[in-house]
Amino acid sequence: MNREHLNRQELQNNPTLQSLHAFAKENSTQLYLVGGSVRDLLLNRPATDYDFTLKSDALVFAKLFAETIRATCIPLEEIPPTARVIKKPTRTVPTEICLDFAQFRAATLEDDLRLRDLTINTMAMPLNSIMDCGHSEIIDPCNGVKDLEKQQLRYPSEQVILDDPLRLMRIFRFAAQLDFEMAHKSMTLVEKHIQLMPHVSSERIREELLKILDTEKSTPYLHQMSEIGLLSHVFHSFDVQTGNWTVLENFEETPIPTALSTYQTEIDRYLNEELGQYANRQSLIKLSILLQQNVRQQGRRLCLSRKAIQFMKCLMTENLRLIDEKLTKKNVIDFLRSTGSEWWGVLLFSAVIHQLPDQVLKQIADTYFQHFLPILKQGRLITGEELIEKYQLKEGKEIGRLLKHVEDMQFYGEVRTRQQAFAVVERLLSDGDNPS
């Protein structure tokens, strides 16, 4: 890694960072780009969030700077004083940018850096050296640059784990995100301090777990966490079944089966939608593969959102409809009606759990777009108000049964027009049939 060729162009050309640099100069404040922001800069990874640290008055500095650029300032923590400045997109800068300002947690910058989670996150750069100088000065008390070059994850000290046991999980998250190796000594410390995990809040564990699941290849890291006993603390003494690892690996290898490649753009958009913080559908499908029938209990244990737990429960119950490979069109329509907006998720989950044939996957997707979706867009052929007015019926369960019967026939392709729908109702009323 050549320090003289750091990718500083994006930072130097950013109007918000230019304003920050000028504001810091005017106020005689030394700012340092720090932590993951430096790591990503050295790895040439794109970023729209930047972390800064300064010796004192972080909250005051952030507030005044936000006022200067007409941005939003949000206090985050009191110890250490930390605030976030959010600059919304504009015509000239179409991307939102977030700047976090944290005060030193120790007497010096170097001591502050030594308190961070991993050595690759213990580096800092003075903002003025990034914006003004021909090369960027790197403050690196824990040899983070060397570990970046070796693609190695290492704790700065044993104390950082004692300070925050969540770092027992975090090293696996960065390994999954960056495809880095975990140093042997650091893994020894993980095994030594596993018993500290119960002291970490469920909300923080959930966030770290979902970030691991959100990587393309989470299986080997989660499996390793399971083998050393860390995952049993995450899932509260629940052990993942052996076969589930193979299923998870298969899903990560091919989340969208070839038979559904025509719909890849739509599926990608669906899978990336979040049902809670960091909880996109793809990650929740992975979690469901691991947990299987324990999704409700573990979902609550992890403090997942109500939407996330409902989605996972839907996967568990509705996938059983697709076990029979000889699905009739009526079976498929019943499946689509029962799963509603989550039919993609159930289909993808079922595809990997039950190894559904390509023709079944294609049959269901084609039925949705060619038959089911047009009916959804059309809406009900008749309404309850129309039945009351036309046939002098009273409000009640009978109206609901009549509408459901017509809707069933509409989805099964047995009625297509309003005239046909009214004819069905008239026949039922004339015959005295119970449409249920």
Domain regions of the chain by residue span: 1-149, 151-233, 240-377, 384-431
Provide the sign of the torsion angle of the four alpha carbons 191, 112, 163, 121, taken in this order.
Answer: negative
Provide the sign of the torsion angle of the four alpha carbons 114, 139, 171, 54, taken in this order.
Answer: positive
pLDDT at 1: 43
pLDDT at 323: 85
List strand residue ranges (DSSP E) for 49-90, in order: 49-54, 72-77, 82-87
Distances (CA, A) of 182 to 51, 66, 155: 24, 39, 9
pLDDT at 134: 57
pLDDT less than 70: residues of the chain: 1-7, 133-135, 325, 432-436
Contact 176, 212 (CB under 8 A): yes
In CATH, what number does 1-149 get? 3.30.460.10
172-186 pLDDT per residue, tens? 999 999 999 999 999
Non-local CB neighbours of 94 within 8 Å, separated by 6+ positions:
none
pLDDT at 135: 64
pLDDT at 436: 45
User: Whole-prediction pTM value?
Assistant: 0.87
pLDDT at 4: 37
Residue 214 sits at φ, ψ, to 5 deg, of -80, -5
pLDDT at 62: 95
Provide the sign of the torsion angle of the four alpha carbons 203, 208, 209, 214, taken in this order.
Answer: positive
Non-local CB neighbours of 313 within 8 Å, separated by 6+ positions:
295, 296
Q: Is 162 helix (H, G, I), strand (E, B) or coil?
A: helix
In CATH, what number does 151-233 get? 1.10.110.30
